[in-house]
Chain A
Amino acid sequence: MTGAEVANALFVATILIYAGAMFAYAVEYAFDRRAPKRAKQLAAVAAPGADAAGEPVAAEPPISPAAARGAGRLGLVLTFLGTAALAASIVTRVVYTGRWPWGNMFEYTVGVALAGMVTWLVLVSRGNVPRRLGLFATFAVTMVLGTSVRVYTEAGPLVPALDSYWIVIHVTAAIASSGILLIGCVFAILHLLKRRYDRQVSDGKPIRFPLNVAERLPDATALERMTFKIHVFAFPLLTFGIIAGSVWAHLAWGRYWNWDPKEVWAFIAWVVYAAYLHARVSGKSAKVNAPWIAILGYAVMLFNLTAVNLVFSGLHSYAGV
């Protein structure tokens, strides 16, 4: 097996391991019946009508809470394992090509997945988030990895414009901030789901899919604060990435800012995230909309990664993508 084949095998293994982890988290999420007590109480207090109809007789779950927690632990172990495999895949590519591994869109996207998963594992290890939410993190990261397959590029040498130590600084900052913001976006979505769920419950309206998933989510306020913290952490990194990029642009293209499509959309993403941070501190009604702005910010980031690379032509076009 050549180095490139080893890297590809590890990459496929990562996706399979993450899929396994996702399944294990799903078992914990669905069958560990300790967590949603609070939500049930809330429902009972807010919707007496449901009480009158009688608490639905819960059938004995096929998996005991203890076994479900075991599945969650397995999920976490698999997540660590998959992340190690992903890192090993990237390192193998580095050894094989003898260069920094951010040379094309495929490598960039894989880097974002790694950054997102590492962010998640740090949060779980520090006890900032409950383990079972790994279901959503592994789902998001596996989606990113799946997307990267669409732009797979053979491991090869760098074009001259990328042959600079600034690739380490600029692209690493861009990848790290994209990965962290991915997790931030996941929390924004979870918050909106839970908020909607809470309102449905307090209005006594029926809960349908996908809102019923939110039943077992943590408190909506806590989810919102987590969203904000992650964005606060990532925003300076994104800012630094853009500044480093403009220093590099000066060296490689002669101008520090060219209004290249990639730069335009990075500027837009930065402005949207700045708007999010402002919305969070500008009074109640703006704060309510803030999570939507955060999601819009990530939509811009994704657009910048996909559409700008594949549709627009500009200075940031390398190796076809």
Chain B
Amino acid sequence: MTAVLAPPPRSEPKPLKRLRSFVRRWWHQLTAMRTALLLLLALALAAIPGSTFPQRSISAVDVAGYYDEHPDLAPWLDRLWAFDVYTSPWFSAIYLLLMVSLVGCILPRLGVHWKALRARVPDAPRRMSILPYHRVLDSEANQSMARAVLKQRRWRTTVREAEDGTVTIAAEKGHLRETGNLLFHSSIIFMLVGVALGSLMSWYGNRILSEGKSYCNNLQQYDEYGLGAWVDETSLPQFCLTLDDFDAEFTNGGPTAYDAAVAYEAGGQSGDYALEVNHPLNIDGTNVFLIGHGYTAVVTYTDRYGQTQTLHQEFLAMDAAMNSEGAFKFPDANVDPATGTVDEDAEVGFDAILVPTYDDATAMLLGTDPELNNPVLALTAYTGDLGLADGQPESVYAVNEAQIASGNLERVNDEVEVIGVGDAMTLPDGSSLTFDGVEQYAVLQVRHDPGGPVVLAGAVLLLGGLLPALAVRRRRFWIRWNPDGTVETAGLNRNDYDGLDEECDELTAAIAPGHEPPQASESDDSIGGRQ
């Protein structure tokens, strides 16, 4: 940082000096604890919009919905990165500054700590009675025994003998606190590296797969996917997945279990797996997750000339009762088999709502039970030009609204027609749509994130550093044999620590077994003390 900001060398040293002190002052400012504190609070504040506005990285659909609802406000919010909060320049600026501040804080402390670990324990002051804990022993204390006691309790000790015959053992304990503290802060950086690795090297794809269908890992096979900057899409691992069976269990209208029986084939090896929520399939480091499910309607369309085609169409759930929306599109129907001519207004499409449990006793179309107890399709038919020829991608869950609005598609039935399984809806031209049944589909997410294990390792280190950083107390203890034959002990807290007196009393008693510690009087109104 200093190197970047330093000016080109000049003959007169004064401005250079001034700039250097300027940089140094700002560096001190940035790495000060108070700045870190403000940055932490700023980070907390900056994270809030991410929960109040829909985020592109989570649900692009919700962002589009927000644009529809607030057409004037949304573009302005977008200019402020309100839909990409966690990758926005202002959020990044805060956490990067925080990281710089963190590094600036831990680097010097690493050096100090390294020296402290190897340094001799400092001697006690000449007058030990100024220390917070101080006792003059009324019994003998043996030097070698004192050393043994301290060593057994893992105190680091330094023995000093003065010319006048004074012997002092200085002991120190609790360097683990600073070690833990530095480990905690370093592992935050470590985790961030893992997150960065993940965003560069991870990839994922979501795939809707109906029962009995298969697909092989290839970006074209995914309904939605994302690639990290360093991922080569041609080098994705090769495997194929088949959904043999899907089963959803419900109790009192609420889901209790989803089970997807999948078969996989990867690099010559194959197997079956019972894929469940919380129970992903791991294929050589790539995980397959079950993240959703839905219903697939099976219909058969018989056109004017008696030609039939069967469609398996996935539907999107609109609510918790699995009332789902979808569309059936037949762009190549109604071709005269004798002449091969295409009838005008030949293309047929249906907007449909699938109701898993239809109750005809009520006036409500939508059901309240997600199970398939009485599935019906509520259909609206359109004939004309479906608008598929222009090659533009469009929703498979709805008939093109623009074509309806422009009159290229004509609505056939004014009132929605409801048909059950086995029933058919007949159109005025004699063609019909038969509801053959309902299958299920699973939504699979395939994800590979090599950054994940790094982040997890960082999190474990973070916790491993946090515990000693908070629980361990650094403290010092001294014993001094004076030339006049008296023995003194003293203790000093380096951190806020209530138990110092008790610990020092106990040490003193262990070193000089005959010594009677004075009974401390405890007030009735004490708080925080150990009794």
A: residues with CB less than 8 A from B are 34-35, 38, 126-130, 156-161, 163-164, 166, 218-219, 222-223, 225-226, 228-229, 232, 235-236, 239-240, 243, 246-248, 250-256, 258-261, 264-265, 267-268, 271-272, 274-275, 277-279, 281-283, 286, 293, 300, 308, 312, 319
Contacts and interface: CB of A to CB of B under 8 A. Distances in A.
Given A159-B256, A222-B528, 10 more contacts: A164-B278, A226-B527, A235-B470, A252-B277, A255-B447, A264-B48, A264-B51, A272-B44, A286-B33, A308-B51
B44 A268 contact: yes
Interface residues of B, number: 57
A160 B41 contact: no
Contact of A219 (B257, B289, B527): B527
Contacts of A160: 255-258, 276-278
Contact of A218 (B279, B289, B462, B525): B525
B470 A236 contact: yes
Contacts of A239: 462-463, 466
Interface stretch (B151-159, B331-339, B451-459): B451-459
Q: Determine chain A's interface SS by DSSP, over half rule.
A: helix
B43 A271 contact: yes
Interface string B40-74: 11011001101110010110000000000000000
A254 B256 contact: no
Nearest to B55: A259
Contact of A282 (B37, B447, B462, B526): B37
Query: Which one of B37, B52, B57, B86 has the highest number of Cβ atoms from chain A below 10 Å of its Cβ?
Result: B37
A253 B254 contact: no
Nearest to B460: A243
Nearest to B52: A312
A128 B530 contact: yes
17 contacts: A127-B529, A157-B251, A158-B256, A160-B277, A225-B496, A228-B496, A239-B462, A243-B456, A252-B289, A254-B291, A254-B447, A255-B449, A258-B58, A261-B51, A272-B41, A275-B41, A282-B37
Nearest to A300: B44
A166 B279 CA distance: 12
B57 A254 contact: no
Given A271-B43, A275-B40, A275-B41, A218 B278 contact: no
Contacts, number: 156
Interface in B462-495: 462-463, 466-467, 470-471
B129 interface: no
Contacts of A127: 526, 529-531
B34 interface: yes
Query: Which one of A156, A229, A259 has the highest number of Cβ atoms from chain B below 10 Å of its Cβ?
Result: A259
B355 interface: no
Contacts of A265: 51
Contacts of A277: 470
Contact of A259 (B40, B43, B58): B58
B33 A312 contact: no
Interface string B249-264: 0011011111000000
Contact of B37 (A158, A228, A278): A278
A243 B276 CA distance: 22
Contact of A286 (B34, B254, B466, B530): B34
B156 to A, nearest CB: 24
A274 B251 CA distance: 43
Contacts of A236: 463, 466-467, 470
A218 B36 CA distance: 33
A277 B181 CA distance: 12
B57 to A, nearest CB: 7
Contacts of B445: 254
B289 A253 contact: yes
Query: Which one of A160, A166, A235 has the highest number of Cβ atoms from chain B below 10 Å of its Cβ?
Result: A160
Contacts of A248: 278
Contacts of A240: 463
Contacts of B255: 159-160
Contact of B34 (A252, A258, A260, A283): A283
Nearest to B293: A160
A228 B497 CA distance: 12
B291 A130 contact: no
Query: Which one of B51, B86, B257, B445 has the highest number of Cβ atoms from chain A below 10 Å of its Cβ?
Result: B51
A228 B470 CA distance: 11
B530 A163 contact: no
B284 interface: no
